[in-house]
């Protein structure tokens, strides 16, 4: 799958837009603000129990804030917002959180809820980011063997944007946070994911990791510190562990790659014999791989995968556009769309379940009985459906390669994430 | 042709700090992966001269190369300048490709610059607290620098990710003026080819006489900006020292230069053309594309390639500048032709030069 990625430098972690962040912050803030009062009213037993447990740990908080923080912990538990997060860690982390944002002495209740919102967002976002980063590192390592280079790519293209994103989560709530705390969140997450997968007693609180970093690293602010912080606090201590952790994944990726190469060669060989569209084969090969992964290996379609699909289809379409006249005209006509729809039909003949989504409910039986026959006789119907989808996803009036690629990817993702697609396995 | 002898990638780092042992200077040859001291040519390379002008900073220059027969070579030099806080950095590399993306390369260098700055701050703090010694500091610094340089080197020459991308320019920057320079070539005592500017001609639109722009476009400064785009003789001699036979008789001249104003983030691009007359004289045309100046009477920079082609073809046949300009897209612009460079003074504005010239002619 990765032979389609142009260059290793393109494997980057791309953060969410600031607008999304602001919106998400508002939503969660309102949610916490509205629900903690309900929680206090409705769950008195839970609260009194946990209050007893944490009597000393949160003793420094004022009574109202104690209630707020405990209620929000309750919400975190019931909604499962942060996995495996013990109440003792939570209490320690709140204390450190107030320290590192300089809010220990003066902090209104609203600010306190805002701070917790930022904190929760930060952990959630960073957990996702770490997943993407580990995946990216797998891809990078397959292509680039030099440790220094992959280390630097890991820092510059992955951890650096992820850490600045985490920092932004606090800025959105108008808090200034110690950069070492952000780094500590990542140490915590790496320990949780890479070193102690599963329930483990060794996992410490974020506060603990913060104090470790603080004892070793003297500075706390300035964007120029990212490189040094990431290198000394995340890469040096954890790189070999991370490498060990992703090794099986890299091996399975390499195996997949070599298997799919053989598969594709066979499939492509068949197509060339009855169809002369040799210039679109890379797309079919690529989509086949994705379909295989999702349908037969049950891989989920996450945001990284979506991105991967979109960028690769755009790249492949552009590449074929130089060879193919239909695409090379500066203003793409609907002729190009027909070309693309042909590609879809080849895909349907390879994976009949993909078209299931486009077939009328009343025709299901016909289709499942003999998909090939149905596709031939009802080509127009399916084409119409596809056309409608393309028109819907091509948002602007002008049809360009980029637009088509995006629409193509969106349709593919829509079909693959539709549960009906997985219901029938035509190969059996 | 990727002859390793002609492959250079040199980073010069300058760190200003209050410490007695500093400023800290370092020349790093990325190709060798080692700190290179023998490039220093007796005295240390100082790059602070590039940051002296507070209004306009030279960001990047692409140099074209001509051999002694005045044939243009398929070899380019790139020079980038970046600074962050107390750290300034100059990067010089050679390549056979002319399509390195200025913005992307700048981004990588800024990353190096920032990283070095953060690292240095941390090390200084730890040295002050006596957690590490000065030797430790240097060792850690060297280790990190070699990693950063190795990465940059890989980006430039192996991954080549910094090439072939679209430059992001300002929406519609305008051609703001054209300067023609009459020069002679000479060899200095280090056997380096130097250019002497003899006469300068300004061609500019009426709008530059407007009071708003009078303070911005000052002939003396424009000339200085052009001069600054040429390779500093110090740098050139350093590069030449590393491989003297290769650089013998090589005329390295700016091809495109990018300047920015740190205050307003305006961008100025200067595009150069060269016309050689005989062995030792040449005419340089410098086209200024400036985002600071907006006026409907100006020419869009997208027309520049066409205009340059026209002027070049005229210059081939006709060496009289006035004729050439009259036949070009600049025919309606003001012309101040062939002023001796030493006659231009710091406080002269463009129309003042005209007046002076009139007096001279009388």
> Are the CB atoms for B223 and B204 separated by under 8 Å?
no
Which candidate, B166, B221, B207, B217, places its Cα nearest to that of B334?
B207
* Cα–Cα separations (whole angstroms), residue A199 to A85, A89, A123, A126, A193: 10, 14, 18, 20, 11
Confidence of residue A331 (pLDDT cuts 50, 70, 90): very low
Q: Which residues fall within 8 angstroms of residue A193, CB to CB, at 6 or more apart? A: A127, A130, A131, A134, A245
Name the closest residue on chain B to residue A8, using Cα atoms.
B159
Residue A264 lies in a domain: no
Q: Which of B84, B118, B161 comes nearest A226 by C-beta? A: B118
User: Cβ of A225 and B122 within 8 Å?
Assistant: yes
Q: Whole-angstrom Cα distance, residue B362 to residue B357?
A: 9
Confidence of residue B80 (pLDDT cuts 50, 70, 90): very high
Tens digit of each residue's pLDDT (9 = 90 or more) over A365-377: 788 788 888 888 8
Confidence of residue A328 (pLDDT cuts 50, 70, 90): very low
Residues of B whose CB is below 8 A from A9 = 155, 159, 161
Instruction: Report whether the peptide linkage leading into residue B277 is cis, meaning its omega lies within 30 degrees of zero.
Output: no
Residues of B whose CB is below 8 A from A148 = 147, 150-151
Residues of A whose CB is below 8 A from B160 = 7
Q: CB of B119 within 8 Å of any CB in chain A?
A: yes
Number of folded domains that form chain A: 2
Q: CB of B232 within 8 Å of any CB in chain A?
A: no
Residue A257 lies in a domain: no
Q: How far is A253 from chain B (nearest CA, A)?
A: 22
Confidence of residue A382 (pLDDT cuts 50, 70, 90): confident
Residues of B whose CB is below 8 A from A153 = 151
> Are the CB atoms for B122 and B44 separated by under 8 Å?
no
The reply to whether A37 and A138 lie within a common domain is yes
Is residue A250's pLDDT more than 80?
Answer: yes
User: Cβ of A224 and B148 within 8 Å?
Assistant: no
User: Cβ of B118 and A152 within 8 Å?
Assistant: no
Is residue B61's pLDDT more than 60?
Answer: yes
Q: Return the minimum-mean-pLDDT range out of A388-397, B129-138, B253-262.
A: A388-397
Choose between A245 and A374: higher pLDDT.
A245
The reply to whether A300 and A228 lie within a common domain is no
Chosen for mutation from B122, B149, B163 (greatest number of chain A CBs closer than 10 Å) is: B122
Q: Whole-angstrom Cα distance, residue B16 to residue B110?
A: 17
Q: CB of B110 within 8 Å of any CB in chain A?
A: no
Q: Which of A146, A149, A224 comes nearest B84 by C-beta? A: A224
- Give residue B38's pLDDT: 39
Q: Give the Cα-Cα-Cα angle B322, B323, B326 (nearest 5 degrees).
A: 85
- Give residue B36's pLDDT: 47
Tens digit of each residue's pLDDT (9 = 90 or more) over A228-239: 999 999 999 999
Share of chain A above pLDDT 90, in %: 25
Residues of B whose CB is below 8 A from A222 = 118, 121
Q: Whole-angstrom Cα distance, residue B85 to residue B83?
A: 7
- Give residue B165's pLDDT: 60
Q: CB of A30 within 8 Å of any CB in chain B?
A: no
| DSSP H or E segment with residue B66 | strand B57-66
| DSSP H or E segment with residue B332 | none
User: Cβ of A149 and B154 within 8 Å?
Assistant: yes
Choose between A134 and A9: higher pLDDT.
A134
- Give residue A313's pLDDT: 81
Q: Which of B84, B85, B122 comes nearest A219 by C-beta? A: B122
Residue A266 lies in a domain: no
Q: How far is B309 from chain A (nearest CA, A)?
A: 26
> Are the CB atoms for B266 and B171 separated by under 8 Å?
no
Is residue B34's pLDDT more than 60?
Answer: no
ipTM: 0.82
Residue A259 lies in a domain: no
Residue A267 lies in a domain: no
Q: CB of B117 within 8 Å of any CB in chain A?
A: yes
The reply to whether A186 and A228 lie within a common domain is yes
Residue A71: which domain range? 2-244
Residue A260 lies in a domain: no
User: Cβ of B125 and A7 within 8 Å?
Assistant: no
Q: CB of A10 within 8 Å of any CB in chain B?
A: yes
**C-beta atoms surrounding B208 within 10 Å:** 23
Q: CB of B155 within 8 Å of any CB in chain A?
A: yes
Q: Return the minimum-mean-pLDDT range out of A20-24, B206-210, B351-355.
A: B351-355
Share of chain B above pLDDT 90, in %: 11
- Give residue A272's pLDDT: 44
- Give residue A154's pLDDT: 92
Q: Which residues fall within 8 angstroms of residue A367, CB to CB, at 6 or more apart? A: A352, A355, A356, A359, A374
The reply to whether A230 and A279 lie within a common domain is no
Chosen for mutation from A228, A236, A315 (greatest number of chain B CBs closer than 10 Å) is: A228
The reply to whether A344 and A200 lie within a common domain is no
Max CA separation in chain B (angstroms)? 75
Is residue B28's pLDDT more than 70?
Answer: no
The winner for highest mean pLDDT among B9-18, B51-60, B260-269, B284-293 is B284-293
Residue A160 lies in a domain: yes
Q: Whole-angstrom Cα distance, residue A127 to residue A193?
A: 9
Confidence of residue A126 (pLDDT cuts 50, 70, 90): very high
- Give residue B39's pLDDT: 39
Q: How far is B118 from chain A (nearest CA, A)?
A: 4
The reply to whether A227 and A279 lie within a common domain is no
Chosen for mutation from A145, A227, A231, A239 (greatest number of chain B CBs closer than 10 Å) is: A227
Confidence of residue B180 (pLDDT cuts 50, 70, 90): very high
Q: CB of A152 within 8 Å of any CB in chain B?
A: yes
Tens digit of each residue's pLDDT (9 = 90 or more) over B212-252: 887 788 888 888 889 888 887 767 766 666 555 666 677 88
Is residue A322's pLDDT more than 50?
Answer: yes
Name the closest residue on chain B to residue A222, using Cα atoms.
B118
Q: CB of B49 within 8 Å of any CB in chain A?
A: no
Is residue B45's pLDDT more than 60?
Answer: no
Confidence of residue A302 (pLDDT cuts 50, 70, 90): confident
User: Exposed, middle or buried by CB within 10 Å (0-12, 13-18, 19+), for A195?
Assistant: middle
Is residue A242's pLDDT more than 70?
Answer: yes
Is residue A23's pLDDT more than 50?
Answer: yes
Chosen for mutation from A6, A146, A152 (greatest number of chain B CBs closer than 10 Å) is: A152
Choose between A340 and B99: higher pLDDT.
B99
Residues of A whose CB is below 8 A from B155 = 9
Picking from A244, A262, A288, the residue at the C-terminal end of a domain is A244
The winner for highest mean pLDDT among A29-38, A261-270, A394-403 is A29-38
CB pairs under 8 A between A and B: 60
User: Exposed, middle or buried by CB within 10 Å (0-12, 13-18, 19+), for B358?
Assistant: exposed
The reply to whether A94 and A159 lie within a common domain is yes
3-state secondary structure B159-224: HCCCECCCCCCCCCCEEEEEEEEEEEEEECCCCCEEEEEEEEEEEECHHHHCHHHHCCCCHHHHHH
Q: How far is A226 from chain B (nearest CA, A)?
A: 7
- Give residue B118's pLDDT: 93
Residue A316 lies in a domain: yes
Is residue A4's pLDDT more than 80?
Answer: no
- Give residue B19's pLDDT: 57
Q: CB of A201 within 8 Å of any CB in chain B?
A: no
The reply to whether A352 and A411 lie within a common domain is yes
The reply to whether A193 and A59 lie within a common domain is yes
Q: Which of A148, A217, A224 comes nearest B117 by C-beta? A: A224
User: Cβ of B147 and A156 within 8 Å?
Assistant: no
The reply to whether A22 and A111 lie within a common domain is yes
Q: How far is A379 from chain B (nearest CA, A)?
A: 41
Q: Return the minimum-mean-pLDDT range out of A184-198, B14-28, B34-48.
A: B34-48
**Mean pLDDT within B126-151:** 85
Name the closest residue on chain A to residue B125, using Cα atoms.
A218
The reply to whether A279 and A318 lie within a common domain is yes
Question: B24 has which bridge partners?
Answer: B15
- Give residue A198's pLDDT: 54
Share of chain B above pLDDT 70, in %: 80
Q: Return the minimum-mean-pLDDT range out of A197-201, A242-246, A339-343, B188-192.
A: A197-201
> Are the CB atoms for B214 and B349 separated by under 8 Å?
yes
Q: Whole-angstrom Cα distance, residue A253 to residue A259?
A: 10
Tens digit of each residue's pLDDT (9 = 90 or more) over B95-110: 888 888 888 888 899 9
- Give residue B152's pLDDT: 87
| DSSP H or E segment with residue A195 | none
Is residue B331's pLDDT more than 50?
Answer: yes
User: Cβ of B159 and A9 within 8 Å?
Assistant: yes
- Give residue B43's pLDDT: 46
Q: Which of B114, B119, B147 comes nearest A148 by C-beta? A: B147
Sign of the CA dihedral running B222, B226, B228, B229: positive
Share of chain A above pLDDT 70, in %: 86
Tens digit of each residue's pLDDT (9 = 90 or more) over A159-198: 999 999 999 999 998 899 999 999 999 999 998 888 775 5
User: Cβ of B144 and A231 within 8 Å?
Assistant: yes
Boundaries of every domain in chain B: 4-159, 174-361
The reply to whether A240 and A279 lie within a common domain is no
Confidence of residue A134 (pLDDT cuts 50, 70, 90): very high
């Amino acid at each position: 799958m990765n032979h389609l990625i142009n260059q290793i430098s393109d494997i980057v972690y791309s953060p969410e837009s600031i607008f999304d962040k602001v919106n998400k912050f508002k939503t969660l803030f309102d949610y916490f603000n509205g629900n903690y009062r309900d929680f206090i009213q409705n769950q008195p037993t839970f609260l009194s129990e946990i209050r007893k447990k944490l009597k000393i740990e949160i003793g420094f908080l004022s009574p109202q804030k104690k209630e707020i923080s405990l209620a929000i912990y309750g919400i975190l538990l019931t909604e499962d917002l942060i996995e495996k997060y013990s109440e003792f860690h939570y209490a320690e982390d709140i204390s450190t959180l107030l320290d590192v944002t300089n809010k220990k002495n003066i902090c209104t209740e609203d600010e306190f809820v805002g701070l917790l919102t930022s904190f929760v967002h930060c952990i959630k976002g960073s957990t996702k980011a770490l997943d993407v980063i580990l995946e990216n590192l797998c891809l990078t390592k397959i292509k680039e063997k030099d440790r220094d280079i992959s280390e630097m790519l890991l820092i510059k293209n992955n951890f650096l944007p992820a850490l600045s994103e985490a920092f932004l989560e606090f800025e959105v709530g108008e808090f200034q946070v110690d950069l070492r705390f952000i780094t500590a969140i990542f140490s915590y997450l790496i320990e949780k994911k890479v070193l102690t997968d599963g329930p483990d007693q060794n996992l410490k609180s974020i506060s603990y990791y913060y104090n470790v970093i603080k004892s070793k690293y003297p500075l706390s602010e300035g964007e120029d510190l990212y490189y040094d912080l990431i290198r000394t606090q995340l890469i040096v201590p954890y790189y070999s562990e991370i490498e060990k952790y992703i090794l099986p994944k890299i091996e399975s990726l390499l195996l997949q790659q070599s298997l799919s190469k053989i598969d594709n060669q066979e499939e492509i060989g068949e197509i060339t014999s009855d169809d002369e569209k040799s210039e679109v084969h890379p797309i079919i090969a690529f989509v086949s791989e994705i379909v295989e992964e999702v349908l037969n290996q049950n891989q989920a379609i996450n945001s990284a995968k979506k991105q991967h699909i979109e960028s690769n289809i755009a790249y492949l379409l552009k590449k074929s556009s130089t060879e193919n006249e239909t695409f090379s005209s500066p203003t793409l006509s609907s002729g190009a769309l027909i070309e693309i729809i042909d590609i879809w039909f080849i895909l349907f003949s390879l994976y009949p379940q993909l078209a299931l989504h486009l077939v009328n409910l009343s025709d299901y039986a016909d289709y499942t009985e003999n998909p090939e026959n149905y596709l031939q006789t009802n080509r127009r119907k399916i084409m119409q459906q596809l056309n409608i989808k393309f028109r819907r996803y091509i948002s602007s009036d002008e049809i360009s390669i980029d637009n088509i690629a995006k629409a193509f990817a969106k349709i593919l993702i829509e079909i693959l994430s539709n549960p009906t697609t997985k219901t029938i396995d035509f190969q059996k | 042709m990727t002859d390793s002898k002609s492959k250079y990638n040199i980073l010069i780092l300058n760190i200003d700090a209050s410490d007695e042992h500093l400023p800290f200077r370092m020349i790093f040859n990325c190709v060798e992966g080692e700190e290179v001291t023998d490039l220093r040519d007796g005295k240390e390379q100082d790059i602070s001269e590039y940051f002296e002008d507070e209004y306009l900073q030279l960001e990047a220059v692409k140099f074209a190369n001509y051999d002694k027969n005045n044939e243009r070579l398929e070899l380019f030099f790139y020079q980038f300048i970046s600074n962050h806080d107390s750290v300034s950095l100059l990067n010089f590399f050679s390549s056979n490709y002319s399509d390195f993306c200025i913005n992307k390369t700048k981004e990588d260098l800024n990353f190096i610059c920032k990283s070095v700055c953060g690292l240095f701050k941390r090390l200084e703090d730890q040295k002050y607290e006596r957690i590490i010694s000065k030797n430790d500091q240097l060792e850690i610094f060297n280790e990190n620098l070699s990693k950063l340089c190795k990465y940059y080197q890989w980006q430039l020459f192996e991954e080549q990710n910094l090439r072939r991308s679209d430059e992001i320019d300002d929406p519609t920057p305008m051609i703001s003026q054209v300067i023609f320079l009459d020069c002679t070539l000479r060899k200095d005592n280090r056997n380096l080819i130097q250019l002497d500017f003899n006469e300068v001609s300004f061609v500019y639109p009426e709008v530059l006489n407007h009071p708003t722009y009078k303070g911005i476009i000052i002939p003396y400064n424009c000339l200085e900006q052009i001069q600054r785009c040429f390779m500093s003789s110090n740098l050139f001699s350093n590069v030449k020292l590393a491989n003297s036979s290769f650089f013998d008789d090589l005329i390295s001249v700016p091809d495109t230069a990018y300047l920015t104003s740190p205050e307003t983030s305006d961008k100025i691009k200067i595009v150069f053309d060269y016309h050689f007359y005989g062995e030792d004289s040449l005419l340089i045309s410098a086209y200024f594309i400036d985002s600071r100046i907006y006026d409907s009477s100006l020419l869009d920079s997208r027309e520049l390639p066409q205009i340059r082609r026209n002027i070049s073809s005229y210059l081939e046949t006709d060496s009289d500048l006035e004729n050439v300009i009259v036949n070009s897209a600049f025919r309606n612009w003001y012309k101040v032709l062939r002023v001796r460079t030493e006659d231009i003074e710091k406080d002269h504005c463009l129309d003042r030069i005209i007046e002076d010239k009139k007096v001279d002619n009388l």
